[in-house]
Amino acid sequence: MKKFTFQFLAGILCFLAIQTQAQNRGSKPDGFAELRTGVTPIKRCYTVEAQEEYFRTHPGSRAQFDQNQHAIQRQVNDYLASRVTAINDTITVVIHVIGSAAIQTLVTDQVLRGQVDTLTADYQGKNADSTRIPAHFKPIFGKMGITFLLAKTDPNGLPTTGIERRENAVTFTAGTADNAKQNAQGGMNAWDPAKYLNLWVVSFGTSGILGISVFPGDPRNINLHGFVCDYRAFGSGAPYL
C-alpha cells in the first residue's frame, strides 16, 4: 500500500504545489495563472498532455496503463472494505534541485522546507484558506492524517537533509522532463521510490510549463515516477515569484 501511496501522491502533487502559488495571486478560468513568461501563458500542470504524448510514442503503453489502473482500483476497494476510518502515515520526501548557480541561490532550503510544510497543512486540513470553502462543501472537507517530512537518512543509511543539488545550465521541456530524473541526462537519479517521494525542482525555461507529474499506474520505469516542478512555482509564497 505504501508504494501505491507514493505513486498516487506524485500524481496529484502537480496540482497541489502549483495551487499553493495560485492562492497567492489568483487564477484564470482557462487554467492559466496570472504569471507570464514573455508572451507565453503559464500552464499550471502539463501532466495530462505529457501522458498523452507518452502514449503516442510508446505503443501498447495505454493498454498497460489501463490494466494497472484496474489493479490499483482493486487495491483501493480492498482497502475500503477493511473499514479503515482514518489514515495516519508519514511520507518521506527527497527534493532534487537542478539548475544554475542563480537558481540554487533562489531556491533556498527554507523555501523547500516551506513547500513540504504546506503539503502537510493541506492534507491535514490546516491550510489557512480552508475558511473559503463554501458552506455546502464543508461536511466533506477532507482531513487526512498524512505528514510529509524531508528524509533524514539517504538510501545508503547516511544522514541527509532530504535535499540534494546539482548545479548546471540544463533547461528542461515537456519532452525532456524525464531527463531530470537521470544523472546521465543532466538530472539526478531518484531515490528508492518504494521508500521516498521524489520531487525534482528544475527550470522549464520559457516553455510556460510549471509542473509535470506521473499518474499512478504509469507503465514507465518506477524510477521515472515523481513530480518535476519549475523552480518559480515551488515553495510556499516564494519571494522570487
**Alpha carbon distance 146, 12 (integer Å):** 14
With respect to residue 85, please indicate whether it lies within any of the assigned structural domains: no
With respect to residue 38, please indicate whether it lies within any of the assigned structural domains: yes
**Alpha carbon distance 219, 143 (integer Å):** 30
With respect to residue 171, please indicate whether it lies within any of the assigned structural domains: yes
Residues 180, 186, 188, 193, CA torsion sign: positive
C-alpha cell at 192: 528508492
Q: Can you give the pTM of this predicted structure? A: 0.82
What CATH number is given to the structural domain containing 110?
3.40.390
> Could you write out the three-class secondary structure of the chain?
CHHHHHHHHHHHHHHHHHHHHHHHHCECCCCEEEEEECCEEEECCCHHHHHHHHHHHCCCHHHHHHHHHHHHHHHHHHHHHCCCCCCEEEEEEEEEEEECHHHHHHCCHHHHHHHHHHHHHHHCCCCHHHHHCCHHHHHHCCCCEEEEEECCECCCCCECCCEEEEECCCCCCHHHHHHHHCHHHCCCCCCCCCCCEEEEEECCCCCCECEECCCCCCCCCHHHCCEEEEHHHCCCCCCCC
With respect to residue 108, please indicate whether it lies within any of the assigned structural domains: yes
pLDDT per position as a tens digit, 45-104: 899 999 999 999 999 999 999 999 999 999 888 877 886 666 778 999 999 999 999 999
195 against 17, higher pLDDT: 195
With respect to residue 84, please indicate whether it lies within any of the assigned structural domains: no
With respect to residue 81, please indicate whether it lies within any of the assigned structural domains: no
Share of the chain above pLDDT 90, in %: 60
Closest CA to 123 of 157, 86, 158: 86
With respect to residue 39, please indicate whether it lies within any of the assigned structural domains: yes
pLDDT per position as a tens digit, 125-167: 888 888 888 989 888 888 888 999 999 999 999 999 999 999 9
**Angle ∠(38,39,40) on CA atoms, nearest 5:** 95
Which domain does 178 fall in, by range? Answer: 2-76+90-129+147-233
With respect to residue 134, please indicate whether it lies within any of the assigned structural domains: no
pLDDT per position as a tens digit, 192-224: 999 999 999 999 998 889 999 999 999 999 999
Domain count, the chain: 1
Give the chain's length. Answer: 241
